[in-house]
Amino acid sequence: MSTYYKPEDLKKFGNITEFDKELGDKFFDYYGEVFKEGALTTREKSLIALAVSHAVQCPYCIDAYTSDTIEKGCTEEQLMEAVHVAAAIRGGASLVHGVQMMEKTKKILM
Amino acid sequence: MSMKSLKAQGHELASETAQLVKLNEHDFVKFKDKLDPIGLNPLKPTKIDIFQINVGKMCNQVCKHCHVDAGPDRKEIMTRETMEICLDILSKHDIGTVDLTGGAPEMNPHFRWFVEEIKKLGKHVIDRCNLTIINANKKYHDLPEFFAKHNIEIASSLPHYTPNRTDRQRGDGVFERSIDALQRLNAVGYGKEGTGLLLNLVYNPTGAMLPGPQEVLKADYKKQLFDKFGIEFNDLFVITNIPISRYLDYLIASGNYEDYMTSLIDAFNPEAAKGVMCRNTLSISWDGYIYDCDFNQMLDMKVKTNGTHLKDFDFEALSNREIIIDQHCYGCTAGLGSSCGGQTV
């Protein structure tokens, strides 16, 4: 295997059911339900998916949800704002631990 | 963006045969094999109700995705004699709608006369206006008044409500000039409630992807165009790009061809296949030949009847013909379907 990630593997995602059909089917049923129009629109859900894709750094998901958000009519600005939301949360998640660091520092220093 | 058509460039894909070879050289599932299990092969017409006439390939724009390979360098233009044959046929048959397309149909020197004669026959006329022709030259400035006087339905491409997405597909400055043209059409009543003057916009993806749902995109367009430019319109027709001619060239050059074809094939929808426009439309070329649709016309696949020219027009035979299909037909059957009137499902 020349690389762990292959773009063509995205299209094979559905084949996950090959080794465990029951759990695979349950996952895809659930997945389909999650992305249906609901209290959130399908476009809002797609933008959330795009942001989460960046947060979890999944290249398959980034590929899929970049196309999906554009197909659903989102602009480049909206896609980038979603990515910045992911970046802000990831950055913030690191930075907020600075409080723990500061409290520990204050505790151990005279 | 090149200002030359593929033909003027001497490009390989200017050849219809080369396009068909390209479309068939991969081992994608054949379109006919998708129609077989749903009982649509052979594909037959329902009722012929639209006469779509391509009055010429000349255009003031050179759009990146144009399936006609139209442009200022294309000189193929329908003659008045051919238009007279069209009028004769239209006067004898119950075909309700005449859909005029091009190129820029208004650049045909007989355009206005032709429209007036078709209207005298009581037909509904659609003009596929590229918008920028209206402000391209002083002689076209009164087109909105002309359209309004004859109550012509206008269908105009505006692939996005942002300047950069539209200009990347249709050429620098096209968005700004399209907005100006839309404002001129609004000024004579087009797109305004209660006037009966229909102004429909056409959305097609500005890249290698399928379009989203029409209703969602229409709501975006309504809001964005009204809020930013005060523009009103009636409907938004969402169209899938068909992988032929300049769009095929774009797909290959950008490395998207295989993925795009796979997307179209994976999204094959039997319901969309039932409603394809070739089942109620005849497409006429500038030189008077008859085709199943404008795409088959550009691939030079004439109707499968004994006579293929307007001079041999046989309504009965055409109503019972077998529609010619090939791999590009996946473009009309993907997802929510695609036709010159937008999504079909």
- What pLDDT shows up at residue B317? 96
Question: Residue B323: inside a domain, yes or no?
Answer: no
Confidence class for position B70, pLDDT limits 50, 70, 90: very high
> B49 CB contacts (<8 Å, ≥6 apart)?
B95, B96, B97, B280, B281
Contacts of A71 in chain B (CB under 8 A): 205, 209-212
Please determine, for residue A4, whether its predicted confidence score (pLDDT) is greater than 90: no
Least CB–CB distance from B216: residue in A11, A73, A75: A73
Q: Where do the structural domains in chain A lie, given as residue ranges?
A: 35-108
- What pLDDT shows up at residue A7? 87
- What pLDDT shows up at residue B311? 96
For position B205, which CATH number holds?
3.20.20.70
Please determine, for residue B146, whether its predicted confidence score (pLDDT) is greater than 70: yes
Residues of B179-210 as b/e, b for ≥16 C-beta within 10 angstroms? bebbebbbebbbbbeeeebbbbbbbbbbbbbb
Say yes or no: domain A35-108 is CATH 1.20.1290.10: yes
pLDDT in tens, A13-60: 999 999 999 999 999 999 999 999 999 999 999 999 999 999 999 999
Please determine, for residue A61, whether its predicted confidence score (pLDDT) is greater than 70: yes
What percent of chain B is predicted at pLDDT more than 70?
A: 99
- Per the listing, tokens 């005279």 go with A110
- What pLDDT shows up at residue B84? 98
Count of structural domains within chain B = 1
Average pLDDT in the A63-90 region?
96
- B184: containing domain: 6-30+47-262+279-302
**Average pLDDT across chain A, whole number:** 95
Least CB–CB distance from A71: residue in B165, B210, B220: B210
The verdict on A67 touching B (C-beta cutoff 8 Å) is yes
- Per the listing, tokens 């695609």 go with B338
Least CB–CB distance from B220: residue in A11, A67, A73: A73
Average pLDDT in the B298-325 region?
96
**Average pLDDT across chain B, whole number:** 96
Q: For residue A6, give how far its alpha carbon lies from the nearest alpha carbon of chain B (Å).
A: 14
Confidence class for position A1, pLDDT limits 50, 70, 90: low
Average pLDDT in the B319-339 region?
95
DSSP 8-state assignment for residue B29: P
Confidence class for position A2, pLDDT limits 50, 70, 90: confident
Average pLDDT in the B81-95 region?
97
The verdict on A32 touching B (C-beta cutoff 8 Å) is no
- Taking CA–CA distances from B335, the nearest residue in chain A reads A71
What percent of chain A is predicted at pLDDT more than 90?
A: 91
The verdict on A72 touching B (C-beta cutoff 8 Å) is yes
- What pLDDT shows up at residue B2? 66
Question: Residue B255: inside a domain, yes or no?
Answer: yes
Please determine, for residue B1, whether its predicted confidence score (pLDDT) is greater than 70: no
> A40 CB contacts (<8 Å, ≥6 apart)?
A48
- What pLDDT shows up at residue A8? 87
- Taking CA–CA distances from B221, the nearest residue in chain A reads A73
Least CB–CB distance from B216: residue in A67, A70, A72: A72
- Taking CA–CA distances from A75, the nearest residue in chain B reads B162
- What pLDDT shows up at residue B78? 98
Contact yes or no for B216 and A70 at CB 8 A: no
Average pLDDT in the B60-77 region?
96
pLDDT in tens, B220-256: 999 999 999 999 999 999 999 999 999 999 999 999 9
> B281 CB contacts (<8 Å, ≥6 apart)?
B48, B49, B50, B51, B52, B99, B292, B293, B340
The stretches of chain B forming alpha helices (DSSP H) are 6-9, 16-24, 31-35, 80-92, 111-120, 143-149, 163-170, 174-187, 214-229, 245-253, 257-266, 270-274, 294-298, 315-319, 330-333
Higher pLDDT, B26 or B117: B117
> B216 CB contacts (<8 Å, ≥6 apart)?
A41, A43, A72, A73
- What pLDDT shows up at residue B209? 93
Contacts of A11 in chain B (CB under 8 A): 262
Q: For residue A46, give how far its alpha carbon lies from the nearest alpha carbon of chain B (Å).
A: 12
Structure tokens at A69: 């958000």
Please determine, for residue B21, whether its predicted confidence score (pLDDT) is greater than 90: yes
Question: Residue B17: inside a domain, yes or no?
Answer: yes
Average pLDDT in the B294-322 region?
96
